[in-house]
Structure 1
Amino acid sequence: MVREKRRPLFREHALQQYMQRRENDILPQFVSPPVFLFAWLLFALVIGSGVVAWLERVPIYVDGPGVVVANEYSIRVSQSTVNALVFVPVRSSDAVRVGVYSLIRFGSSGPYFRSTIIRLEPMVLSPRAIQLRYGLACSAGQEIHEPSVAVHMQVPLPAGAHIYDGMPLQARIRIGSQRVLGLIPVLSGWIGGS
């Protein structure tokens, strides 16, 4: 009797592949791949916007009422210059500096004009003292509600602007900047303002 060679039931190559597949870790799939990718993209977007909000700064303004003061108009063909007196609350007056640009709007509506601070008065005055010292009309004087410092400004205007002495105005003076995240009340204490 001739002995027949026994062949293995499975090929060796197939057994190796089977063993390799069994050794691989199989993790359960809780979410589909597109949802997983979307979650990572959303996470990256939140982190990126947080970094931008941390680095970006926004200006801080103080508003103050004021009047156009009697002055010699410097009239040129293309523009004229007007002097204005603005009253800044004493709590914000430390940040106001000579040479700082600000925005002024004459009357209750209309466009803002760029202006420059030329001088600060050294004294802090009460609303009543401001009315008496500068002879303010009722409408301009009623907008001052707290002790203030007088700020002298120079406003270049287009030649056709109709501005008169004693005209009320509103000024927005930039006093600094702060991080965007500082605008959120909970985070402002940790981050700090300026």
Structure 2
Amino acid sequence: MALTLIPVNLNDPVEYEELRQQRITCGWDNTVQILSLWQEKQAQGLKSLFWVTELLPDSKSPFPIRAGHISLDAYASPIDYDLANANKTNLTIQTFFILPEYRSRGLGSRAIKLIEGMARSAPYGSSECKYITLNCMSKKYYFDETMGPYVRRFMPICNQQWYEKLGYVAWKEEPRYEHTIIEENEERRDVVYDAVFMRKRLER
């Protein structure tokens, strides 16, 4: 079925709460402070946040389901001009999540393709946009003999490999993701995973 991207209205209490619940399921970026920041960035024209919607063929409802969300942003947090900037020569996919029950349907790759198509035209993008960028956990952890079994429990697929298949290329790595590991003996250990920064040059 056709997939569409519909702008999220974070000023609508119903949509705000639905997005918050999706972020809770996602596991991060779900605090009031984060969502308030997103509202500010939306108002400034720097964050374009969309519902990933699809009308299911076996659904009794005539309305499409909100299977997840994705953003195309003209800012990066923390600030990184190579990831995104306000003049929109680089834009970043900073917020992207598909609910578990709707995965394995190709929604993610189709959503990426649609967002790429928006990057070179107003109001979400610019004709001057050269790159779409993103960052995710480095694949070295996914295949590491020690860390791999643990990482694969909360990350069923290797995100870096998935983006590589869509044409995204890595250009740097740096520490980014804070996480707490709970050992088998219930001891807690704080770690910081490296993020890989990836980009795709847009065709003119």
TM-score by length of 1: 0.21
State the structure with more CA Rg.
Answer: 1
Greater fraction of residues in helix: 1
TM-score by length of 2: 0.20
Whose RCO is larger (CA < 8 A, sep 6+)?
1
